[in-house]
Every structure is written in structure tokens, then in C-alpha cells.
Amino acid sequence: MFEPIKKQLSNAKHIVILQADNPDGDSLGSALALEAIFSEMGKQVTLCCAVDMPAHLRYLSGWDRVVKEIPQQFDLSFVVDTSTESLFEYYEKDQSFSWIKAKPVIVIDHHTETKGLSYASHTFNLEAVATSEVIHRIAEELEWPLPVDACEFMAISIMSDSMGLVTEATTAYSIEVIADLVKRGVSLAKLENARRELMRKEKVLIPYKGRLLQRVNFDDSGRIASVTIPWSEIEEFSPLYNPSMLVIDDMRLTVGVDVAIAYKQYRDGKVTAKIRCNYGKPIGSDLASYFGGGGHPYASGFKKMEKTNIAELHQEVVAKANELLDTLKDNS
């Protein structure tokens, strides 16, 4: 199944690994794992992402090797953890992205409900809890070397997207992969301690979280909780922590709530929506795709590139979300 990767790799000396505009523990962990594996094979690797690595990911040693500039000379690129073209908004505006499109592009992903990248040469978008679960499958089939650091990055990636192996998408196979990584020398306790150390928040975020919680709004049905984050707060607090993530779980864990939505409004009026659904209410990807986005049943999002009135948008979102929730009820 993964033969094309083997073939492309054998001809490649310099490999670029790309993450989309929304780097997370899975994308960075997967990128660093591939870097470790390809380096072991004697290849030169450049890690690229158009945005800065978020502070909470900086416990993954090597995060600082991720650069914005796409190198002029390379042979092959890998895209990890995305198959959605609109998630390369910054690179799409950059001339250098045409260099990527002109060379072979291999996509390794687990977002099976997206359309894919039109410029990909080969796409391996498989059902898996995280991209690194797919990487592990590829590594087994192609008998790739797996140095311990690569194993650690894969474990971080899987633990991150599976929230510690407890999400719906976690399968027995995901757990087997983790077991294999532990056998190869990974200490989950060590990784978890490193992660927690970086989860400590700056003091200023505590009262800000209080402000956000006071602004949480519930729709008439009580099933949809929402909060809006204006540009002034994005500018002030985003470098310290993603404001949505400060409160979205508290919103989701409110009695009666099925869906939590955090809107962010940027300077130019553009809006992003992050959607999280509770167990048994898997409407996330349907809701997001109705508004032009995508994602998973329990975690999804969409963007409105034009100047958008959030109050009006939210009315539509509430209507659609309630409709989808009612359909669930009818089916059960």
C-alpha cells in the first residue's frame, strides 16, 4: 500500500515537511517523527509551517527547527495532518508555495472527511486517531528505522489527538501502536510531565479566563454554548495561549450543553469558529462543512474570509446545529 512513498524517498535527498496554518501536537509530533526517521536514513530535512509554533507545543524538542521559509532546493515534500487546501492560506499567498506544488507532494493524514489537496501526488488519508498512527503503519510496512526520539514524537502525537487514548476515534490498534512505542523505549510518564510543565499558564490568563467565562452565551435550547473573542484579545492573549482553548472545555462540560463554539474575529473582519461536541452528539463535521469548513465529528471548525457579523452568523449556526441535533434524536 505504501510502495509509492518508498519509491519517492529513494530518489530524494532533501525533504520538506509541511504543517498547515493550525499546528497542533499531532502535526508537530508527526513532522518531528518523520524528521527523525528521514535523518536516520541520511536525508536532509526541512520543517516548514507558515505560522509560529504555539507556546504549549514547545516541550517537543526540535519545535524551533520549524521555519517559515520554504527552501528553494529540495526533492520531495510531505504534508502531515491536513488534507484541506484552505488550511494553507498563508503559503497560498506566497510565491514559494509553487515550488512545493511543482515537486512530488505526499500527504499523510487522518482527516478522512475532507476533499484532499489537488496538488498531492500521493495521499494516505486513513482512519486513525492521529497522523502518527498512520506513520507507524507506514514505518512497519516499509521497515523504516525507528530511533527512540521518533517514537517519542509519535507517542506525543497520538496521545495529543486522542486526549490520552480516550477519544471516540481511539481504537485497539491505536493502543497497540502506543504499546509498541513504549516497548521501543518511550516513557509516557516523562512525556506527560514535560507536557504538564508547559501547560502552566501565565498569571494574566487566569482573570482573562474569568472574563471569557462571563461572556459565554447559551442558546434558547441550552444545547449550544458560544463565546466570541475580538481581535483586541487575540492580539493581547494569543501569544500566551489560544483564548478559545481557555474556556471551550468548561463550556462543553456545562449541564445540558451538546455543542461549544468559540468564534474569533480578526482585524480584517474575518471570522473563525472552533466547534467541540459532547460524546453522543457527533455533529461537528456536518455543522462545519455546512459553513464551508471541516474536521472530525467531535472537533471541527470553519472560516469566513469576508467581513462577518458574528451575531448574525451565530443565529444561522444555532439553527443548523439544532437541526442536526434533532436529526440525531430522530435516528436514535
Q: Are 76 and 15 in contact (CB under 8 A)?
A: yes
Report which residue's Cβ sits closest to Mn ion: 26
CB of 25 to Mn ion, least distance (A): 8
For Mn ion, the closer of residues 26 and 219 by Cβ is 26
Positions touching Mn ion (CB under 5 A) are 26, 81, 161
Which cell goes with 320?
A: 443548523
What is the C-alpha separation between 57 and 10, in angstroms, rounded? Answer: 31
CB of 195 vs Mn ion, minimal distance in Å: 16
Q: Judged by CB, which is closer to Mn ion: 24, or 35?
A: 24
Q: Among residues 125 and 226, whose Cβ is nearest to Mn ion?
A: 125
- We find the least distance from the C-beta atom of residue 81 to Mn ion, in angstroms, to be 4
Residue 226, strand partner residues: 217, 261
| Phi and psi torsions of 163, nearest 5° | 50, 45
Of the pair 44, 171, the CB lying nearest Mn ion is at 171
For residues 245 and 202, what is the distance between their CA atoms, to the nearest angstrom? 14
**CB 130, min distance to Mn ion, A:** 5
Residue 103's nearest CA partner among 17, 6, 1 is: 17
If 0-12 CB within 10 Å is exposed, 13-18 middle and 19+ buried, where does residue 3 land?
Answer: exposed
To the nearest whole angstrom, how small is the minimum distance from the Cβ of residue 213 to Mn ion?
28
CB-based contact 156:60 (threshold 8 Å): yes
Straight-line distance from the first to the last Cα atom of the chain, in angstroms, rounded to the nearest whole number:
37
Give the nearer residue to Mn ion in terms of CB position, either 81 or 219: 81
Grid-cell match 483586541, residue found: 232
CB of 274: closest distance to Mn ion in angstroms?
A: 14
Strands (E), 148-201: none
Q: All 3 cell numbers of residue 318?
A: 444555532
Q: Are 298 and 276 in contact, with CB atoms under 8 Å apart?
A: yes
The residue (of 60 and 212) whose beta carbon lies closer to Mn ion is: 60
Q: Within its chain, how far is the Cα of 198 from the centroid?
A: 18
Query: Closest approach of Cβ 60 to Mn ion, in Å?
Result: 14
Q: Which is nearer to Mn ion, 82 or 322 (CB)?
A: 82
Distance between CA atoms of 151 and 148, rounded to whole angstroms?
A: 5
Closer to Mn ion by CB, 19 or 46: give it.
19
Q: Are strands 44-49 and 66-67 parallel, antiparallel or unpaired?
A: parallel
As measured in angstroms, the least distance from the Cβ of 270 to Mn ion is 23
